[in-house]
Amino acid sequence: MGTRQEISELPPDADLARADSLAREIFSDIANKWALLIIEFLGQRTMRFSELRDAIGGISHKMLTQNLRTLERNGLVERHVHATVPPRVDYTLTEAGQALRGVVDGMCGWTQHHLGTIEACRSRFDAS
Amino acid sequence: MGTRQEISELPPDADLARADSLAREIFSDIANKWALLIIEFLGQRTMRFSELRDAIGGISHKMLTQNLRTLERNGLVERHVHATVPPRVDYTLTEAGQALRGVVDGMCGWTQHHLGTIEACRSRFDAS
DNA sequence: CGGCATCCTTAACGATACTG
DNA sequence: CAGTATCGTTAAGGATGCCG
């Protein structure tokens, strides 16, 4: 038989593969424009749906709900519904969301810091 | 006249708006699954096209070239063509790319660290 | 081997309208 | 106000083939 079964305490290949595909799945969920912008803006403070929509700008109603659901499913965002009329829904980052926020801040900072360089690179690239 | 012209040293609204839309554009270029995975794998070492393709896994020929061109245009990746036969093309992260790599590492680390929590959140969410 | 172009399929997205 | 559903459009993405 294969040598791998000898150390039964370690997860078998099947489990490693599953964890890997899960990691990829999660990575795909968060590594997209809208999800990261939501994280970034919600990181500043709790916001209701329409506030967030206006803060981000350029995101459609549908995209916002859709991405918020995905983030909620992954435990990055908490949804609080107030039983008022008109209804009010607040969104907050969870602890995990806040942790990710640090990373997203880094991305935004990187973008700001390299704006000029990138613009120059683009001009050079587009010229040729 | 408007009050804004009085302080001519500061960039006018038009310039701020342009810088903002440029930042958004760049953010969209890098805030996507494939671009970030390329950054992550190229961060480990210089690779040729096919190596990178195999390392990432699940990315099509077309997506890889397309994203590499975008990254090259933004000055994150350098493309080195060797005049050999068969041809060989190496890709390397630039300084700016390496800087971004730190951020992407953070994202990958975050994903690994929260794998369990997220899986639990998903089960709970999907149950309801 | 790597790049580009083409076609085709699918999924993302926006707009609209209706419900609680 | 926020959410869901539907429809139509557009763009992303995969497969193939040909060129350097």
Give the pLDDT confidence score for residue B6 in this predicted structure: 53
pLDDT of residue A2: 43
The mean of the pLDDT values for chain A is: 90
Residue A1 pLDDT greater than 60, yes or no: no
What are the structural domains of chain B?
10-127 (1.10.10.10)
Tens-digit pLDDT profile for residues A85-121: 889 999 999 999 999 999 999 999 999 999 999 999 9
Give B59's pLDDT tier (boundaries 50, 70, 90): very high
pLDDT of A7 > 60? The answer is no
Task: Determine the residue type at A9.
Answer: E
Residue B32 pairs in a beta bridge with: A32
Task: State whether A107 and B119 contact (CB < 8 Å).
Answer: no
Tokens at residue A48, please?
Answer: 């209701």
**A57: its two tokens:** 């700008």
**pLDDT of the residue at A3:** 47
User: What residue ranges in chain B does DSSP mark as E strands?
Assistant: 47-48, 77-82, 88-93
Q: Does B27 touch chain A (CB under 8 A)?
A: yes
Of the listed ranges A44-48, A81-85, B73-77, the least confidently predicted one is: A81-85
The reply to whether B65 Cβ lies less than 7 angstroms from strand C is yes
Calpha distance B81→B70 (Å, rounded) = 17
Phi, psi of A58 (to 5 degrees): 85, 0
Please state the rounded mean pLDDT for residues B49-67. Answer: 96
d(CA A14, CA A113): 43
What does the DSSP 8-state code read for residue B32? B
Taking residue A127's Cβ as centre, other Cβ atoms within 10 Å add up to 6
Do B46 and B88 touch, CB atoms closer than 8 A?
no
In chain B, % of residues over pLDDT 90: 78
Section A31-49 average pLDDT: 96
Residue B105 to residue A54: CA distance in whole angstroms: 31
**Does residue B66 register a pLDDT over 80?**
yes
Per-residue pLDDT of B87-125, as tens digits, reads 999 999 999 999 999 999 999 999 999 999 999 999 999
B86: CB within 7 A of chain C nucleic strand:
yes
Res B2: pLDDT: 43
Is residue B51 classed as helix, strand or coil in its secondary structure?
Answer: helix
Q: Which residue of chain B is at minimal alpha-carbon distance from A20?
A: B112
The DSSP letter of residue B11 is: P
Q: Say if pTM beats, i.e. exceeds, 0.75.
A: yes
Question: Does residue A25 or residue A4 have the better pLDDT?
Answer: A25
Query: Residue B24 and residue B26: Cα distance in Å, rounded?
Result: 5
A17 in contact with chain B, both atoms CB, cutoff 8 A: no
Asked whether residue B71 carries a pLDDT value surpassing 50, the answer given is yes
To test the contact with chain B by mutation, choose from A33, A41, A128 the residue with the greatest count of B C-beta atoms within 10 A, namely A33
